[in-house]
Chains A and B, each alone.
Chain A
Amino acid sequence: MVCNTGISLIPRVNGQNHHFRCAGLYNGLVLLGDKETHSYWDHISGECLHGPLRGQTLELSGSLYYMTAKQALKAYPDASLAISRQSFFQKSLSQVFQWTSLRSKGFIPSFFNKTMGKADNRLPRLDIGLGVWFETKARYYPLEQLKAHGNATIDTVNGHRILVYIDPISKAPAAIHSTASEYHWDGEKLHLDTHEVLKESRLYNEQEALLPMNRPNQMFTRWYGFSYTFPNCDIYE
């Protein structure tokens, strides 16, 4: 949708696999629907909002990585790819929706408005940034604010220390857990005072050995999507 927020969930309810599709809209955000019960689910939190399974929650599997194919190939040489065989109509719609994806300019279709409640006007609705959350504590990092801080920042959310940065290749913001206090850029490499280096979407130590990247829950999103999902979230300044 306009928000283009993505997340990965485990499609299992009470031990059974359910099958989902984009079935509805609420607050201008996609609602998932499952074929088995016709319940409607929040596509970010995985909570069932309406229908027989209301109150159930799909387990969050992880956040999405925004990469170019070249980046993905270099960082994850064994990665798998799934390609959809789209019809002409589907390809055309893909093109249209791709165009409206996370760009600084955008618009909200008029029929979205009927689904939207009172907006959080602290930021423009279509502002883009990274939303990070721990349990019910959430913080939004406006992309422009991150740029103003030199494309990276070290922050603490709900007691969790995180590094938030803009990937120099994909231009998408991302966050990882980190114990670093300081950082500096060297071209496309982000050096941390923990003697770690973030480059080409991966984290390395001084000996160039690959380190695991522990990522908090996060999504690259528009402000309206994040603020509707996490009311009263903080905004990084």
Chain B
Amino acid sequence: MSDKESHDFFVTKSGVVIDPERMKFNVTIFKPFEVTSYQLLQKAFADGKVKEGTDVLGVALPGGRMLTLIKKQMAYHHVAQGELDNEPWLISF
């Protein structure tokens, strides 16, 4: 299906009427953050990679682990994705 082919409306579960004519497609400026490595926040703090006042976004993953990302970085990436403890996760911002 091409982006402009479908002009039919779609209604979401919350009642939003989606008009594909108003959608902006193929935005490519924002590269997602594909996470392949992690470190302990404690160590990053000790190593000076994050400061006390650095704003972070936290998410409690299904496995129970708290994952943090630097908010400022996410303001560009908008999407971060990875796996932790074999559980796939996705954060949109």
Contact = CB atoms under 8 A, between A and B. Distances in A.
Q: Do A and B come from one complex?
A: yes
Interface of A: 1, 4-12, 17, 19-27, 30-32, 40, 42-45, 47, 49-52, 54-55, 57-58, 61-70, 72-73, 76-84, 86, 90-91, 93-95, 97-98, 101, 111, 114-117, 136, 138, 170, 228-232
Contacts of A62: 59-61
Contacts of B88: 10-12, 17
A23 B45 contact: no
Contact of B14 (A50, A70, A170, A230): A230
A94 B67 contact: no
Contact of B76 (A94, A114, A232): A94
B60 to A, nearest CB: 5
Nearest to B87: A10
- In the A-B complex, the 3 residue pairs with the smallest Cβ-Cβ separation, listed nearest first, are A65-B58, A97-B75, A6-B93
A186 B23 CA distance: 48
A131 B25 CA distance: 27
A200 to B, nearest CB: 13
B6 A67 contact: no
A67 B24 contact: no
Contact of B90 (A8, A24, A91): A8
B58 A79 contact: yes
Contact of A80 (B1, B65, B76, B92): B65
A231 B14 CA distance: 7
Contact of A49 (B1, B18, B39, B60): B18
19 contacts: A8-B92, A9-B91, A22-B32, A23-B25, A43-B79, A44-B92, A52-B1, A64-B93, A68-B56, A69-B53, A69-B68, A72-B41, A72-B68, A78-B40, A79-B65, A81-B69, A82-B39, A82-B68, A90-B76
Nearest to A5: B93
Nearest to A93: B76
